Amino acid sequence: MKKQYTLTIYTEGQIQLINKITLIFLRRQIKIESLNFSCCEIDKMFRFTIVVSETVEVIQNLVLQIEKIIDVYKCYYSTNEQIIWKQVALYKIKTSVIAKKKVKQLSSLFDVKAISTEEDYTIYQAIGKEEDINHLVDEFSKFDLIEFIKSSRIAIIKTSEGFQKELQEI
């Protein structure tokens, strides 16, 4: 049965690696739902966070194949229950149509705040899970949503002591 998994890949920062990793997914015809590449807690190393929906068997084989890439140090896979994860979203809404009472109500239900108010538009930021962010798109669409964008997932594994400690033990 397919389930959503988050892959956390530790590597040296090499541009070619993005191509190598995505090529593995392409060959297996696995859809990447979210991809994030950022620095991490270890100097001169980077972390890929990739979200996919697949069976555990496919994920286990995928992890083994990714770890065969020379510049990859470690690849972990986690279910949504095994990680803490968030996304950030920005919503641009016409200032003239904002029902401040309704926005305050949404702010109390979700982590939403106005980050810029201009004459023509107001930009709101929300931090949360994908379902909450998508729900807010529906809510803000009622107020003449001009623009919307969300980030890829960022995640931290709950039970791990961290890759840095594991790297020191090698």
pLDDT tens-digit map of 14-36: 778 888 998 999 999 999 999 99
Give me the pLDDT at residue 99, please: 59
CA dist 74 and 31 (Å) reads 21
The alpha-carbon radius of gyration of the chain (Å, integer) is 19
In degrees, rounded to 5, the angle at the alpha carbon of residue 87 between the alpha carbons of residues 15 and 131 is: 130
The pLDDT value given to residue 65:
95
Same fold, 3-83+156-169 and 86-150: yes
Regions of the chain where pLDDT drops below 50? none
**Predicted local distance difference test score (pLDDT) of residue 162:** 72
| Range list of H helices, the chain | 15-27, 56-67, 100-109, 130-141, 163-169
pTM of the model as a whole: 0.84
pLDDT the model gives residue 100 = 62
- What's the pLDDT at 14? 72
| pLDDT given for residue 165 in this prediction | 67
Please choose, from the candidates 96, 98, 107, the residue with its C-alpha nearest in 3D space to the C-alpha of residue 143. Answer: 98
* Boundaries of every domain in the chain: 3-83+156-169, 86-150
The architecture (CATH level 2) of 3-83+156-169 comes to: 2-Layer Sandwich (3.30)
The CATH number, out of the four listed (3.30.70.1150, 3.40.50.720, 3.90.190.20, 3.30.43.10), of the domain defined by the range 86-150: 3.30.70.1150
Give the pLDDT score at 103: 67
